[in-house]
Amino acid sequence: MRVLKTYLSLSIPLEEVVPACNFVIEQGWAFYWATSEWSAREIEEAYHVAEKLNLITLVAEQCQHQYVFNSLFSSDAHDSSGMFYRERPEKEYERPFLCKYGLATTTFSSLAEGLPTSKSGEGQERIQKTKEITKIAEGLGTTITAVALAWVAGNPNASVVILGTPSKEQLLQNLEAVKVLPKLTPEVLEQIEEVLKNKPVLYVSHVVDWVDLCFVQSPVDFSQQARVGQVWSSAKKTRTKSICTL
């Protein structure tokens, strides 16, 4: 069950929201519960409420993750949402935070509803950046769409990438991202960042060895957490990724 922040009244305390989610699970209407577009603080509060009341904690957060909007626009209309499209999954949900609570992130809107193709909207800066990323994609023998999806899937903080496709043809095109992912070497990623120039700056508290931080925490209940797509091994530091389609 996904609890979308848009439909959650701020007047309802989490002491009511968390038990309600557990009630749904107890009735057999859902197996797990997760959040969508919640801030790190809200997720942390929900986690502590669940622990205090001895209830089932959330297992994942669904958030937008894309490189298109962040810092490419300056109008207030976009600042209220677009500025978080990289900030939240790459900064607010940084690895120590996710490991601390055993959470996975399910990302959506990776293609910004078609914006990477420069068919929607205005903005010379965005169009220029799109052209430059397209050149990088062509150098890899693929499309900017595949690069955009692979770029999101390759982020350490992303567990699942949700795809929304209107046709079989577009689905197959999007799945090319799986083949592109190994091609996104550190050198290629550096080229992309040189074009974007919008990589979030981490908080000082995040400049830590997050691997050590992950494993000094209490052992994760893998029977509950493994199912959401990402399990870290202290021996091999391996990660399982998933790409889902709707």
- pLDDT tens digits in sequence order for the chain, 246 residues long: 656 555 566 678 999 999 999 999 999 999 999 988 888 888 889 999 999 999 999 988 887 765 544 333 333 333 322 223 666 666 666 655 667 777 777 777 666 554 444 454 445 777 788 889 889 999 999 988 888 888 888 887 778 888 877 888 888 888 998 999 999 999 999 998 888 777 766 654 444 444 444 434 433 343 333 333 333 333 233 444 555 544
**Using an 8 Å Cβ cutoff, are 246 and 110 in contact?**
no
Residue 15 resides in a domain? no
Q: What is the pLDDT of residue 155?
A: 81
Q: What is the pLDDT of residue 202?
A: 62
**Residues ≥6 apart with Cβ < 8 Å to 71:** 83, 197, 198
Q: What is the pLDDT of residue 90?
A: 67
Q: What is the pLDDT of residue 71?
A: 37
Is the sign of the CA dihedral 63, 66, 68, 74 positive or negative? Answer: positive
**Nearest CA among 8, 16, 177, 205 for reference residue 97:** 205
Domain that holds residue 66: 59-245
Q: Which two tokens stand for residue 97?
A: 């935070």
Residue 239 resides in a domain? yes
Q: What is the pLDDT of residue 237?
A: 39
| 80-102 exposure pattern, b = at least 16 Cβ within 10 A, e = fewer | eebbbbbbbbbbbbbbbbbbbbb
Residue 12 resides in a domain? no
Total domain count, the chain: 1
Q: What is the pLDDT of residue 244?
A: 52
Strand intervals (E) in the chain: 2-4, 34-36, 60-64, 104-108, 160-163, 242-245
Separation between Cα atoms, residue 239 and residue 229, nearest integer Å: 9
Residue 47 resides in a domain? no
Q: What is the pLDDT of residue 6?
A: 53
Q: How far is CA 112 from CA 14, 81, 211, 222, in A?
A: 31, 12, 31, 33
Residue 179 resides in a domain? yes
Q: CATH number of the domain that 212 lies in?
A: 3.20.20.100
Residues 32-79 pLDDT 10s:
999 888 888 888 899 999 999 999 999 888 877 655 443 333 333 333
Residue 22 resides in a domain? no
What number of CA atoms fall less than 13 Å from residue 194's CA on the CB side? 8
Residue 13 resides in a domain? no
Rounded percentage of the chain residues whose pLDDT exceeds 70: 57
Separation between Cα atoms, residue 137 and residue 141, nearest integer Å: 6
Q: What is the pLDDT of residue 56?
A: 94
pTM to 2 decimals? 0.65
Could you count the other beta carbons within 10 Å of the beta carbon of residue 242?
Answer: 15
Residue 93 resides in a domain? yes
**Using an 8 Å Cβ cutoff, are 200 and 87 in contact?**
yes
Strand partners, 163: 245
